[in-house]
Structure 1
């Protein structure tokens, strides 16, 4: 392929822009905030699972406490009724029976109240656990929101720079011969680098140093000949820096 030396040299400017664009794309994908957000999101998911379990534990205790309260209220109602019958008087046998039942109800009430107290203590601990998890969820959500804000700010900066580079690329690529640009783009699509400076006997793409016939091939090639590296197949651009 033939192309004017000036056009070949412009490939280096184009490659510089394309390299910068590739670096920006890589930077977008590898922002530390992305990994941070992913880590915090996993943390939030685990905390949410813990919150659900802690909430279920509190709800279960609330249900049990409510059941005990109903049982205690029933005992108190029964005691009040028996006390009223005792106060009204009656046959000795009936009074003794009511007194015995009152003693039984008092023991029952004490047992229920002790059990309820134990449950209330358990609920206090369970609620504290739930509140601690909620606090951790809030803190993690705030950390994720801060990381997302930093990510969005970085994305905006990258996008701005990408737009600037893309705008600079368009006229540069438009001035190149179609066949030369097509070859460059094909090579770049395959390897990420379409053209590189040939300097000090080395291909700027693969860094291989040329000797003997390979070096003579480059030296003897006409200035408008598009020379490619035999090793990496990239376009080797010759300039005054090439030392030929």
Structure 2
């Protein structure tokens, strides 16, 4: 392929732009906050699941507490009625004796139910504290996640702005290089990990960094100035300059 030296030299400008754009794309795909955001989102989802389960447990124990309170109240009401009958003295001696025995049984039953009520109340308090702790933890994780997402968004905006700034003159350079040479350049870029054109400096290819042997150096030295020369090792385009060592 033939291409005047000025077109070839402009390939270096194009390569510099594309290299930086590749670096920006890599940075965008590997933002430092990405892993932390994923971890925080996972933690937040886990906390919210725990919170739902804890609130369900609170509802269950509240129903249990309500029933326990009702059971205690029923015994109290029955005992109050028995005491009222006993105080009135109405009924036979046998009936009054039976009422006294029932009051003893009711007192024992009330004590058992009140102990159970206390145990349920303690569980309700513990669950309420668990819900409060989980709500605080959820708020902390959500705040941390929000901060990470803001940092990521700001970094993305900076990278986007830089990409626009770096790539602003690319179209003009491409037009100056020419369709044929750009086509070769793009083909090599796709095959060689992004680096397609580099200087031949001090007898070394700027792509693979290998020193050229004398046969290759003579070939390049004798090539016309407008001939596009490529490295025999890495097949990248080598741009000849005053520091090529030819």
Which TM-score band applies after superposition, normalised by the shorter structure? over 0.9
Residue of structure 2 aligned with 1:230, choices 229, 232, 237: 232
SS in structure 2 at match of 1:7: helix
Deviations 1:179-201 (A, max 9, x none): 00111011112221121111111
Larger displacement relative to structure 2 (76-85 or 130-139): 76-85
Q: Map 1:3-152 onto structure 2 (within 5 A).
A: 3-88=3-88, 89-152=90-153
SS in structure 2 at match of 1:174: helix
Residue of structure 2 aligned with 1:208, choices 210, 213, 216: 210
CA distance in structure 1 between the aligned counterparts of 2:52 and 2:234, rounded to whole angstroms: 58
Count matched residues: 244
Larger displacement relative to structure 2 (195-204 or 207-216): 207-216
Could you say what the CA RMSD is over the residues aligned between the two structures, in angstroms? 1.4
Q: Which residue of 2 aligns with 1:194?
A: 196
Q: CA deviation at 1:202?
A: 1.3
CA distance in structure 1 between the aligned counterparts of 2:128 and 2:65, rounded to whole angstroms: 14
CA distance in structure 2 between the aligned counterparts of 1:81 and 1:33, rounded to whole angstroms: 70
Larger displacement relative to structure 2 (156-165 or 50-59): 50-59
Q: What residue ranges of structure 2 are gaps of 5+ in the alignment? A: none
TM-score, L = length of structure 2: 0.94
Q: CA deviation at 1:22?
A: 0.6
CA distance in structure 2 between the aligned counterparts of 1:84 and 1:10, rounded to whole angstroms: 110
Deviations 1:61-87 (A, max 9, x none): 222211211211221222222223223
CA distance in structure 2 between the aligned counterparts of 1:78 and 1:194, rounded to whole angstroms: 96
CA distance in structure 1 between the aligned counterparts of 2:101 and 2:206, rounded to whole angstroms: 105
TM-score, L = length of structure 1: 0.95
Deviations 1:99-155 (A, max 9, x none): 111111111111111111112112222221221121111011001101111111111
Q: CA deviation at 1:236?
A: 0.9
CA distance in structure 2 between the aligned counterparts of 1:13 and 1:24, rounded to whole angstroms: 17
CA distance in structure 2 between the aligned counterparts of 1:45 and 1:232, rounded to whole angstroms: 50
Is the 8 Å Cα contact of residues 207 and 236 (structure 2) preserved in structure 1? yes
Q: Which residue of 1 aligns with 2:180?
A: 179
Q: What residue ranges of structure 1 are gaps of 5+ in the alignment? A: none
Q: CA deviation at 1:159?
A: 0.8
